[in-house]
């Protein structure tokens, strides 16, 4: 019995010795390509989502009506146009009734209504644009003070500049903003005049002397008022491209962007639900396109917000069709199907005010006059933006179902792109070559796309 058992063991060991070696562990599979999730848009055939912040041209008085200052209510015609054409709109409460936004969202469930509120101004009369209301005399202790300890005077009678670093003011603002959102059927607020960007209070302040003081005051205010379960907080982003001046925490996984790291965009990312950038790609105050580095930061901020499903209002200025095409092509490089990133045109027209882009009437005029640009039927994007070689250097490219966009963001060099077959400009002209001067873009359609 023992001999037989020994024989069986020897046989088994011999079989193991002849067995083929184990297969090596296969290398990990490459990551699956990113899937673009399509979502409904107000204008489904066009990837340009319209929207913005509007204080002019809202009532019956035409595109130049000072609607917010006059308290003009949004006209019925403008209300219908918003429902048919815009994804995100921010208006002052003085231009609304409690029924206005609910009526628009009933007609267009994809619409995102926002209230426009000042972060640092409080007015004794409740019916003032940007006012959260609720003034009481004891709130004088919350006001912003100059170097001598006196309240900073406000240019509007009954107005007060409030100290955003004051916890009581921040708590009051948060509760009042939530109440106004409920009252007017909004989804959130666009907050303006943050400490970082309030240009009206002067430089002689008691508590705020350095850039770091203003940066910290803005962060403290955002942290105190951010209440995502109650309303979306969309701050005006002037100055957010500045270097933070201190190490910034890593952003949530998947939201990292190379050129936003160490800047206020990263510092404030967890404290907001998007942003309004009133000088995106091209500033209406500087009357010129942003330098390439600033352009890159602007695109990454919009790209990240859109991918995260946040609200982002990209307001870009332009003098002519070429500058408009550059701004729109830049926007099309980063717009996401699932996001609420919208484009606000800021036309710079001869003998017109620089902030004409804040007029809803002017928006309607621009969309109608330049329909070929705003309504280009590109369909869904099918890839992310990427650099490609061209004659003279590299340019940015992104393909869509029915066309393609190119952007030359360089401030110095021009480039040219050759095509093997006809492409169509948004104007209808057919071409096999596109010249891209410095800081220019091109929106092209395949000939069968129209």
The stretches of 142-262 forming alpha helices (DSSP H) are: 167-184, 211-225
Please state the pTM of the whole predicted model: 0.89
Per-residue pLDDT at 40: 54
Res 38: pLDDT: 39
**Residue 299 and residue 330 in contact, taking contact as beta carbons nearer than 8 Å:** yes
Position 42 scores a pLDDT of 59
Q: Extract the runs of DSSP E, i.e. beta strands, from 54-106.
A: 86-91
Per-residue pLDDT tens for 58-67? Answer: 999 999 999 9
- pLDDT tens-digit map of 95-150: 999 999 999 999 999 899 999 999 999 999 999 999 999 999 999 999 999 989 99
pLDDT at 202: 74
Cα separations in angstroms, 150 against 33, 141, 216, 217, 221: 60, 11, 22, 19, 22
Torsion sign over Cα 192, 68, 178, 105? negative
Decide: helix, strand or coil at residue 160.
strand
Residue 157: Cβ-neighbour burial (10 angstroms; 0-12, 13-18, 19+): exposed
Task: Of 57, 37, 104, 106, give the one whose Cα is nearest residue 367.
Answer: 57
Q: What is the pLDDT of residue 288?
A: 87
> In terms of Cα–Cα distance, which of 335, 337, 225 is closest to 280?
335
pLDDT value of residue 22 = 39
Other beta carbons less than 10 A from residue 76's beta carbon: 11
Q: What are residue 163's phi and psi, to 5 degrees?
A: -85, 105
Task: Identify each DSSP E strand in 254-374 by its residue range.
Answer: 274-277, 282-283, 288-289, 311-318, 340-347
Residue 389 tokens, joined: 């070689």
Model pLDDT for residues 11-25, shown as the tens digit of each residue: 444 444 444 333 344
By CB atoms closer than 10 A (0-12, 13-18, 19+), residue 421 is: exposed
Q: Which domains does the chain have, with CATH numbers?
A: 50-374 (3.20.20), 386-449 (2.60.40)
Crossing angle (nearest 10°) for helices 321-334 and 292-307:
50
309 phi-psi bin (left φ>0, alpha ψ -120 to 50, beta other): left
State the 10-residue block means of pLDDT for the chain, 450 residues long: 46 44 40 40 77 98 96 97 96 98 94 97 95 96 94 94 96 98 98 84 82 92 96 96 90 89 95 96 88 96 93 97 98 87 96 94 97 94 95 96 97 95 94 97 87
pLDDT at position 199: 65
What's 357's DSSP letter? G
Beta strand pairing status for 340-347 and 311-318?
A: parallel
- Tracing tokens 């296969």 back to the chain, one arrives at 26
Rounded CA separation 74/77 (Å) = 8
Q: In the 8-state DSSP scheme, what is residue 205?
A: B
CB-CB contact of 382 with 401 (8 Å): yes
Q: How far apart are CA 234 and CA 71, in angstroms?
A: 23
């Amino acid at each position: 019995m023992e001999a037989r058992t020994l024989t069986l063991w020897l046989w088994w060991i011999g079989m193991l010795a002849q067995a083929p070696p184990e297969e090596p562990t296969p290398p990990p599979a490459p990551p699956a390509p990113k899937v673009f999730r399509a979502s409904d848009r107000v204008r489904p055939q066009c990837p340009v989502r319209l929207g913005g912040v509007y204080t002019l041209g809202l009532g019956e008085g035409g595109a130049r009506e000072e609607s917010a200052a006059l308290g003009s209510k949004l006209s019925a015609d403008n209300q219908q146009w918003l429902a048919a054409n815009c994804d995100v709109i921010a208006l002052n409460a003085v231009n609304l009734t409690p029924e206005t936004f609910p009526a628009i969202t009933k007609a267009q469930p994809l619409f995102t209504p926002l209230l426009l509120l000042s972060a640092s101004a409080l007015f004794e009369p409740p019916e003032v644009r940007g006012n959260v209301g609720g003034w009481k005399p004891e709130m004088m202790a919350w006001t912003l003070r100059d170097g001598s300890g006196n309240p900073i005077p406000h240019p509007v009678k009954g107005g007060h500049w409030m100290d955003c670093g004051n916890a009581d003011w921040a708590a009051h603002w948060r509760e009042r903003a939530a109440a106004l959102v409920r009252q007017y059927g909004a989804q959130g607020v666009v907050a303006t005049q943050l400490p970082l960007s309030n240009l009206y209070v002067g430089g002689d302040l008691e508590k705020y002397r350095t850039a770091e003081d203003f940066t910290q005051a803005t962060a403290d205010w955002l942290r105190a008022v951010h209440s995502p379960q109650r309303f979306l907080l969309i701050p005006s982003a002037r100055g957010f491209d500045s270097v933070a001046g201190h190490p910034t925490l890593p952003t949530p996984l998947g939201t990292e962007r190379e050129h936003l790291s160490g800047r206020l965009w990263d510092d404030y990312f967890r404290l907001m639900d998007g942003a309004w950038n009133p000088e995106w790609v091209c500033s209406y105050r500087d009357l010129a396109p942003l330098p390439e580095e600033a352009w890159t930061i602007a695109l990454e901020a919009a790209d990240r917000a859109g991918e995260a499903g946040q609200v982002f209002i990209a307001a870009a200025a332009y003098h002519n069709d070429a500058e408009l095409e550059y701004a729109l092509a830049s926007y099309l490089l980063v717009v996401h199907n699932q996001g609420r990133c919208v484009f606000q045109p800021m036309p710079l027209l001869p003998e017109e005010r620089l902030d004409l882009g804040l007029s809803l009437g002017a928006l309607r005029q621009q969309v109608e006059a330049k329909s070929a640009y705003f309504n280009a039927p590109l369909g869904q994007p099918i890839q992310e933006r990427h650099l490609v070689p061209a004659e003279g250097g590299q340019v940015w490219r992104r393909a869509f179902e029915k066309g393609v966009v190119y952007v030359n963001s360089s401030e110095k060099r021009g480039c040219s792109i050759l095509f093997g077959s006809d492409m169509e400009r948004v104007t209808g002209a057919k071409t096999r070559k596109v010249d891209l001067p410095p800081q220019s873009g091109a929106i092209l359609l395949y000939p069968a796309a129209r």
